[in-house]
């Protein structure tokens, strides 16, 4: 999902309009982000192993197919490779300050795995922020400086092109953030037993499953209204995007809201988690239609 998001952000929205980095530099950026992301998954599995034995015993890999020591080594190797490449791409972009994106992401991933995921809503917000950050990083590395234009006409054209692309980018950032937030809270409901056994303070443990489900329902309803607003303001004049969004985003979202209202069991919430991931996939895939 991260790989798809990175490539579509560049080649579907940005590349033909305001791109300033080469394909080689972009591939390096992708490798950096994927290594750091993979490292984050590894360290999360290391710290989550006891909870996973309860929540999803068939998907426990640490101390089963790989030792904890080797997992730590894998984490450090992936993270260091990702950081070095990220710093190098920032150097090529002639803005070493961009390295902070990679340092912050690494720090948050470790802090999340170690501590933040145990704190109600905080861990969910951090994960959502990091997912949205992947789109923003590509945008920051790619955006063209309007001040470099050779004349006033080019500068004005660049400015308005940048505004248009920026609007699309931030629509997807908002979509990615809130859809991830919804899925993360649902996963907390799904993982209630294991999290409770390890004395975590997730939202469903603190306020109960029913109240947490109602919070998800409110957030989901607001996201649904946001999508309808985007359809009305942006997509109503673009038939291919309009019909795609109605069929592959709005329709399954309506079904998601209906099922969420009546969900009670772990199996119900697992199905909802998969459904929201599918909606996210189709939502991100809609980037490909923007270029068309």
Q: Using the structure block, give the residue that is written with the tokens 């791109």.
A: 19
Q: What is the pLDDT of residues 30-41, one digit of tens each?
A: 999 999 999 999
Separation CA 52–CA 48 (nearest Å):
6
Cα angle at 86 between 128 and 172, to 5 degrees? 35
Domain span at 287: 2-291
Q: What is the pLDDT of residues 49-79, one digit of tens each?
A: 877 778 777 777 887 788 888 989 999 999 9
pTM: 0.89
What letter would DSSP give residue 145?
P
- In the chain, how many domains are there? 1
What b/e readout covers 77-108, taking b as 16+ CB neighbours within 10 angstroms? ebbebbbebbbebbebbeeeebbebbeebbeb
Contact, 1 vs 281, CB < 8 A?
yes
Q: What is the pLDDT of residues 227-274, one digit of tens each?
A: 999 999 888 888 999 999 999 999 999 999 999 988 889 899 999 999
Separation CA 143–CA 226 (nearest Å):
26
């Amino acid at each position: 999902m991260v790989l798809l998001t990175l490539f579509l952000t560049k080649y579907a929205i940005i590349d033909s309009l305001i791109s300033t980095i080469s394909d080689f530099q972009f591939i390096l950026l992708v490798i950096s982000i994927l290594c750091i992301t993979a490292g984050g998954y590894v360290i999360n599995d290391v710290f989550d192993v006891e909870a996973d034995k309860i929540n999803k015993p068939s998907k426990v890999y640490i101390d089963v197919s790989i030792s904890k020591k080797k997992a730590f080594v894998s984490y450090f190797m992936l993270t260091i490779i990702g950081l070095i490449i990220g710093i190098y791409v920032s150097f090529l972009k002639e803005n070493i300050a961009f390295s902070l994106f990679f340092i912050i992401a690494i720090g948050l991933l470790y802090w999340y795995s170690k501590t933040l995921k145990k704190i109600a809503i905080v861990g969910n917000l951090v994960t959502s922020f990091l997912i949205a950050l992947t789109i923003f990083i590509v945008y920051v590395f790619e955006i063209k400086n309007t001040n470099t234009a050779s004349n006033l006409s080019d500068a004005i054209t660049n400015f308005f092109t940048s505004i248009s692309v920026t609007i699309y980018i931030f629509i997807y950032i908002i979509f990615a953030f809130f859809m991830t937030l919804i899925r993360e809270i649902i996963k907390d409901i799904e993982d209630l037993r294991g999290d409770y056994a390890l004395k975590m303070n997730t939202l469903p443990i603190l306020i109960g499953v029913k109240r947490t489900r109602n919070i998800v329902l409110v957030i989901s309803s607001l996201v649904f209204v946001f999508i309808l607003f985007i359809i009305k303001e942006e997509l109503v004049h673009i038939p291919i995007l309009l019909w795609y969004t109605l069929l592959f985003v709005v329709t399954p979202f309506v079904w998601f809201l209906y099922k969420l209202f009546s969900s009670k069991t772990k199996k119900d919430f697992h199905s909802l988690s998969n459904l929201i991931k599918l909606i996210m996939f189709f939502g991100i895939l809609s980037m490909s239609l923007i270029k068309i």
